[in-house]
Amino acid sequence: MGRPRTSLIDLERITTVALQLVDEDGEFSVVAIARRLGVQTASLYHHVDGRDGIVELLRERVCADIDAAALDAADWREALAGWARSYRAAFGAHPRAIPLLMASPVRAPRVLSQYERAVGVLLAAGFPQGEVMKVIIALENLILGSALDLAAPQPMWVLTDEAKTPMLARALAASPPADRADASFELALAGCLSHLADLRDDLAGA
Amino acid sequence: MGRPRTSLIDLERITTVALQLVDEDGEFSVVAIARRLGVQTASLYHHVDGRDGIVELLRERVCADIDAAALDAADWREALAGWARSYRAAFGAHPRAIPLLMASPVRAPRVLSQYERAVGVLLAAGFPQGEVMKVIIALENLILGSALDLAAPQPMWVLTDEAKTPMLARALAASPPADRADASFELALAGCLSHLADLRDDLAGA
């Protein structure tokens, strides 16, 4: 690993400022990054591969908090569950980056290598090659929907006339908001994983 | 139902323009709506309850395409699956509205009444009151993550050096992008629903 060289330090500062802007506004511009760094816009382009390059720097930064080592767990379900939980936490820390990152293709090598490991886990578990990306995307849908939900306002439902939605009023009262987000994610994750286990047995079986 | 009155027609025009802006930019402002409608900003405030009011108009508009009648299906799993599929399609048609709507509490009466129906389905199926919102949120996480994914670029993974991620390269080649989004959603949905069936048996059982 070693210490980053000068150009990397610059990339780190650019990424930090870009992420601050995205956390604040859901967007960034090269001009706004330059302004905040106190440099000329043109000089930024010496360091980064345009706007798309900055998006990939953001992706690497956010994904650096994913515990890819979780994928080394002996049991594939445990491996995917650990990866999914840390993936959710990493993106949940920057919910406004989610739409931005989902709208742009993944090209960052370090992020692609995380996918490579996840693919490896599923292949080793016995999933056929043609099913692997579907499984990963299914988990990501759940992870990213839940990460966005981590930033939801509390309360998320404001009943203007409880008499009109009495069952909803009682259901909301019966489960405190603080308990819901994690429980909902774990419920959907457990559902996905147990279904995947059945699917794998069907596909790999015989 | 009848024909809308003048003020409703105005609300519809306001909503249409706000949704156009969100589809284009992921955001709207009252000023931008007024400009596009060719009216004074101040006069817009005679019709809507500020920015939050417009968010709720957007929510009602997007949710109007959810097939709430699907919730009347005799089998609760079928009811939830039908609702989830049309919910995904409705939000998938306006992916840039998703972060905006998830960041603001639900107050629109017609949307709250859809939740009331979904709560009713789960209670009738035997889910305890304290579990109902968790189940709904779990499904929504999956639905909204998948709806965002419907707007993902194709290809979503661009391998700069295939030799570094050979398993990912083969997994991507083995499943065409066009097949993945729906298959991934159905996989996660089936997983959630079958897990919910087990959970319900455990909770309601005995």
ipTM for this model:
0.91
- Cβ of B113: how many Cβ atoms within 10 Å? 13
pLDDT computed for residue B13 by the predictor? 94
At residue B164, does pLDDT exceed 70? yes
Shortest CA gap B85–chain A (Å): 14
Helix and strand numbers, DSSP H then E, in chain A: 10, 0
CB contact under 8 A, B191 and A193: yes
- Report CB contact under 8 Å: B139, A188: yes
Beta bridge partners of A157: B106
Tokens of A113: 């290598």
At B68 the pLDDT is 92
Counting residues of chain A whose pLDDT is more than 90, the rounded percentage is 78
Give the mean pLDDT of B119-140. 96
Q: What is the mean pLDDT of chain B?
A: 92
Asked if the C-beta of A5 comes within 8 angstroms of chain B's C-beta atoms, the answer is no
Residues of B in contact with A95 (CB under 8 A): 99
**The two structure tokens encoding residue B163:** 């030799």
Q: Out of A55-69, A152-166, B2-16, B168-182, which region has the weakest mean confidence (pLDDT)?
A: B2-16
- Whether A103 shows a pLDDT value over 80: the answer reads yes
B34 pLDDT higher than 70: yes
pLDDT digits (tens, 9 = 90+) for B114-129: 999 999 999 999 999 9
Question: Count of CB contacts below 8 A, A vs B?
Answer: 239
Q: Residue B4: which pLDDT band, with cuts at 50, 70 and 90?
A: very low
CATH numbers and ranges of domains, chain A: 6-48 (1.10.10), 66-204 (1.10.357.10)
Task: Write out pLDDT tens, residues A131-160.
Answer: 999 999 999 999 999 999 998 999 999 998
Q: Measured at the alpha carbon of residue B138, what is the angle toward residues A135 and B140, in degrees to the nearest 5?
A: 90
Residue A163 Cα distances to A157, A158, A167, B171, angstroms = 15, 13, 9, 52
Does the structure show a pLDDT above 50 at B25?
yes
CA distance A3 to chain B (A): 24
pLDDT tens digits, one per residue of A2-30:
544 455 558 999 999 999 999 998 899 99
Give buried/exposed letters for B159-193 (b at 16+ CB in 10 A, else e). Answer: beeeeebebbbebbeebeeeebbebbbbbbbbbbb
- Judge whether A192 and A139 are in contact, CB under 8 Å: yes
- Sign for the CA dihedral angle at A59, A62, A65, A70 comes to negative
pLDDT at B92 over 80: yes
pLDDT of residue A203: 80
Predicted confidence (pLDDT) per residue in B40-73, tens digit = 888 888 889 899 999 999 999 999 999 999 999 9
The alpha carbon of residue B120 and the mean position of all alpha carbons in its chain are separated, in whole angstroms, by: 19
At residue A179, the pLDDT reads 76
Mean pLDDT of A105-113: 96
pLDDT band for position B160 (cuts 50, 70, 90): confident
Instruction: Please tell me whether residue A100 adopts helix, strand or coil conformation.
Output: helix
- CA distance to A73, A85, A97, A195, B25, per residue, from A90 (Å): 19, 9, 11, 25, 25
Which chain A residue is nearest to residue B139, measuring alpha carbons? A188
